[in-house]
Amino acid sequence: MARFTRREVLEQSLLAAAAVAVPAVPALASEPSGPRAGANELLRIGVVGVRGRGLAHVSTFSNFKDCQVVALCDIDPNSVHEATKRVETKSGKRPAYYPDFRKMLEDKSIDAVSIATTNHTHSLFAIWAMQAGKHVYVEKPVSHNVWEGRKAVEAARKYKRVCQTGTQCRSSKGLKEAMAFLHEGKLGKVKVARGLCYKRRTSIGKKEDGPVPAGVDYDLWLGPAPVRPFNPSRFHYNWHWHWDYGNGDLGNQGIHQMDIARWGLGKKELAKKAVSVGGRLGYEDDGETPNTQIVWLDYGDSELLFEVRGLETDAYREAKIGVIFHCEKGYMVNPTYTSATVFDPDGNKVQTFAGGRDEDHFRNFVDCVMGGKPGELNADIEEGHLSSALCHLGNVSHRLGELKATYKANPFPESEAAADTFHRMKEHLDQNGVKATLSQVSVGRTLSIDPKTETCVGDAEANKLFTREYRAPFVVPEQV
């Protein structure tokens, strides 16, 4: 197993400490995205963020004969050893290591970068990479807020880069066939698409601020977020539950199901209205984001409902992490990343679709880069932006909500389906012994959205949360 010596770690830490001297934005590149290479050439890839999901990026790209992972980047040198071992095992070569992503982008031999970092750096890193001439695979959600996601789309178009979103269900054979069935109208009109994120999450506890782990470049990790003391409750993985860096489970696990729901509805824009109800219930800890949440997204001619449940719960129509499409002539249940089953109005099974692997999505990206065909991406950056933005709408509504005496009333008077979902949420909390009081449940602000401008109509406070204050030099530019 490849290991870094103490001297190597020290040298990399010194490089990270000098990061302030690195230009904030790499040199621009404007050459068109034609075919990248011949059949016998390699696509040279750098992976940034190599814990957790990033390890899957490293392993999958290393398995492709026409790819080579030539560089790794992570602000924590302690996280690089396993990724290095996997690359060496496959290629026989040790990848370069960069503590600072901007230094990786200076390597002109790298054709593409794969981004599996914290949510609050996804759009920024994708934009920087495309400006530096790299093609991009960026994990979900593609953005931390609505505005920067659109900027990532603009960058892909301006620099003619291939930019794939990490919503791998888009490459699933089973789901593509299921969506075709739905779009052909064989169940009639889709009235409600219901996304489910019923994923048990336990308390992250309460922890005191403390020292930064040895070797970690905490300033680089913070990136565009405000400076604050290091706390393990805001670091590895737990950052998902803090607004500065993550988007809760709505934008973590839930973005997959949000994307499938929008895909099934056939919508290519944001909803016209958004309302959220929920809170962080059942325990008190350092987390900020809801573990119980309903988001209602109104498209006018159809509805998208999303449910987050982090406490113990039963499945809904045999699904816990999935999507249910309520249609005129029956319903379809998508309970996994690769399957869906159609039922008639009486609940009799009509047809099942299945098939697909995680690596199919990475393969689609590689094929589009090598062939110079961004139009054949299964999850182009704009698809990722729209689905991510729907998650952001729900969270903005929640963050502007009020703890008021409407918990026992119906906060969704315009939607029978949402009102029923609210009733089931209350039953769910009762079953968990949670006495959800007015001091816990936030009834979100109703947001009226202009889908063309992707802004909130007449609500400056909401629009402020559609973007963020960026900490220099980690700034998403107005003009990409």
The pair of structure tokens assigned to 437 is 């009081």
Helices (H), 345-459: 358-371, 381-399, 416-431
Q: Each residue of 80-104: b (16+ CB within 10 Å) or e?
A: beebbebbbebeeeebebbbbbbbb
- Looking at the fold, whether 204 and 249 belong to one and the same domain comes out as yes
DSSP code, position 465: H
**14 assigned to some structural domain:** yes
Amino acid identity, position 12: Q
**286 assigned to some structural domain:** yes
The pair of structure tokens assigned to 42 is 């390699």
In angstroms, what CA-CA distances link 111 with 108, 134, 154, 425?
Answer: 8, 5, 20, 48
The yes-or-no verdict on residue 134 having pLDDT over 70 is yes
- Looking at the fold, whether 164 and 241 belong to one and the same domain comes out as no
Which residues fall within 8 angstroms of residue 266, CB to CB, at 6 or more apart? Answer: 183, 190
The confidence band for 435, taking pLDDT boundaries of 50, 70 and 90, is: confident
Which residues fall within 8 angstroms of residue 48, CB to CB, at 6 or more apart? Answer: 54, 72, 73, 74, 101, 104, 113, 114, 115, 116, 117, 125
Instruction: Indicate the average pLDDT of the chain.
Output: 91
The pair of structure tokens assigned to 81 is 């050893």
What percent of the chain stands above pLDDT 70?
90
**203 assigned to some structural domain:** yes
- Looking at the fold, whether 41 and 89 belong to one and the same domain comes out as yes
Provide the pairing of β-strand 96-98 with 67-73: parallel
- Looking at the fold, whether 399 and 291 belong to one and the same domain comes out as yes
The yes-or-no verdict on residue 16 having pLDDT over 60 is no
- Looking at the fold, whether 12 and 119 belong to one and the same domain comes out as yes
**370 assigned to some structural domain:** no
What CATH number does residue 224 fall under? 3.30.360.10
The confidence band for 402, taking pLDDT boundaries of 50, 70 and 90, is: confident
Structural domain boundaries enclosing 166? 6-170
Decide if 358 contacts 56 (C-beta within 8 A).
yes
pLDDT the model gives residue 389: 98
- Looking at the fold, whether 64 and 93 belong to one and the same domain comes out as yes
The yes-or-no verdict on residue 27 having pLDDT over 70 is no
**347 assigned to some structural domain:** yes
**179 assigned to some structural domain:** no
The confidence band for 132, taking pLDDT boundaries of 50, 70 and 90, is: very high
Top-confidence residue, 390 or 436: 390
The confidence band for 440, taking pLDDT boundaries of 50, 70 and 90, is: confident
Q: How many CA atoms lie within 13 A of 455 on its CB side?
A: 8
For range 259-263, the mean pLDDT: 98
**145 assigned to some structural domain:** yes
> Structurally, how many domains does the chain consist of?
2
For range 115-132, the mean pLDDT: 98
Last residue within a domain, chosen from 113, 145, 170: 170
pLDDT, tens digit, 9 for 90 and up, residues 44-85: 999 999 999 999 999 999 999 999 999 999 999 999 999 999
**118 assigned to some structural domain:** yes
pLDDT the model gives residue 167: 98
pLDDT the model gives residue 408: 64
- Looking at the fold, whether 326 and 425 belong to one and the same domain comes out as yes
What CATH number does residue 72 fall under? 3.40.50.720
What percent of the chain stands above pLDDT 90?
87
- Looking at the fold, whether 137 and 249 belong to one and the same domain comes out as no
pLDDT, tens digit, 9 for 90 and up, residues 155-208: 999 999 999 999 999 999 999 999 999 999 999 999 999 999 999 999 999 999
- Looking at the fold, whether 234 and 148 belong to one and the same domain comes out as no
pTM for the complete prediction? 0.92
Decide if 48 contacts 117 (C-beta within 8 A).
yes
pLDDT the model gives residue 36: 52
In angstroms, what CA-CA distances link 113 with 6, 119, 163, 327, 380?
Answer: 28, 16, 10, 40, 15
- Looking at the fold, whether 145 and 198 belong to one and the same domain comes out as no
Burial of 472 per CB tally in 10 Å (0-12, 13-18, 19+):
exposed
Q: Tokens 């290479």 correspond to what residue?
A: 37
The yes-or-no verdict on residue 20 having pLDDT over 70 is no
CA pseudo-torsion sign 279, 285, 289, 294:
negative
Closest CA to 475 of 257, 148, 238: 148
- Looking at the fold, whether 151 and 195 belong to one and the same domain comes out as no
The yes-or-no verdict on residue 152 having pLDDT over 80 is yes
The yes-or-no verdict on residue 241 having pLDDT over 60 is yes
pLDDT the model gives residue 439: 55
Closest CA to 12 of 99, 83, 85: 99
For residues 270 and 381, give the distance between their C-alpha atoms in angstroms, rounded to a whole number. Answer: 15
- Looking at the fold, whether 70 and 194 belong to one and the same domain comes out as no
The pair of structure tokens assigned to 450 is 């202009």
